[in-house]
Amino acid sequence: MIIIPARIGSSRFPNKVLADIGGIPMVVRTAMAVDDIDSVVIATDSQDVIDIAKEHDIQAVMTSQDHQSGTDRIYEAVQKLGLSDDEIIINVQGDEPFIETDVVQGIYNLTKKNQTDESIMMNSCYKTISNPEADDPNIVKVVTDSDDIALYFSRAKVPYPRDHHFDRYKGHLGIYGFTVRSLRKFCALSPAPLEDIEKLEQLRALYHGYRVAMIEVETESFGIDTQEDLEKAIKHHRL
């Protein structure tokens, strides 16, 4: 199942999940982009989102306004839906209206492959980005080992190229694969100091000794965090 967390009260861009892109609200467009892979549910704290999802024949679940992360929100939705421990859950952010099917399918396949590995709590992906792109703190960087297991995630430019130019940074995409079992374990963990410093919830898993499996993907998609991003998205839709 694909679950899209849709919090209405974004501090940087209020109501962004309902922003209009080509006549369709952003969160609905995101759901439509991935509904060929698996069933899709929107987990929200807004009756407006519930109503709009219903208009587009998309299932939506009302969740608490008090969640600190999208992962906590989708876990409440999982509990309300009564899903089994082995069910695969893909967390796709509601601000990814151009996400490609191949990317989400790749994470689904990786999650299924690691379904019984208790050491792997999360599955995710990255794309290659350039040195200048890596300067942007809104683009999260990930460093991985030889098996593409994450060593660290940061908003800073990592690794730091001390002696030479480096142009193959790994830009993390905020799409996650869990089983219901691993999702429950994640949400039971205490928040980590690194998570609070970087404002990156995936660091909670690493801090507590679990692993995050990664795959490299090719994508032209981009998240929408600002009004400028929305203008870019509207132009992109018209192409």
- pLDDT value for 226: 67
Q: How far apart are CA 142 and CA 78, in angstroms?
A: 28
Tell me, what DSSP letter sits at residue 179? E
What is the residue-averaged pLDDT of the chain? 91
Nearest alpha carbon to residue 48 among 8, 14, 80, 20? 8
- Residue 37 CB coordination number (10 Å): 17
Instruction: Pick the closest to residue 169 from 180, 158, 179, 155 (CA basis).
Output: 158
Please report, for residues 127, 134, 155, 214, the alpha-carbon distance to residue 159 in angstroms, rounded to integers and kept in the order given: 15, 10, 11, 17
**Does pLDDT of 99 surpass 70?**
yes
Average pLDDT over residues 58-67: 92
Place 73 in a pLDDT band, splitting at 50, 70 and 90.
Answer: very high
Please report which confidence band the pLDDT of residue 238 belongs to, taking 50, 70 and 90 as the band edges: low
pLDDT single digits (tens) 17-41: 888 887 888 899 999 999 999 999 9
Q: How many CB atoms lie within 10 A of CB 233?
A: 21
The DSSP code for 155 is S
What is the pTM (predicted TM-score) of this model? 0.90
Mean pLDDT of 30-59: 94
Characterise 189 by phi-psi region: left (phi > 0), alpha (psi -120 to 50), beta (else): beta
The pLDDT assigned to 40 comes to: 96
My answer on whether omega of the bond before 159 falls inside 30° of 0, hence cis, is yes
> Measured in whole angstroms, how far is the alpha carbon of residue 29 from the centre of its chain?
15
* % of the chain at pLDDT higher than 90: 72
Indicate the pLDDT class of residue 150, thresholds 50, 70 and 90. very high
119-123, 136-140, 224-228: least confidently modelled range:
224-228
All structural domains of the chain, each given as residue ranges with its CATH number in brackets, are 1-96 (3.90.550.10), 100-220 (3.90.550.10)
- Confidence category of residue 237, pLDDT binned at 50, 70, 90: low
Residue 127 tokens, joined: 């794309």
Least confident range from 22-31, 87-96, 130-139, 218-227: namely 218-227
pLDDT of residue 236: 66
Q: What average pLDDT score do residues 192-202 get?
A: 94
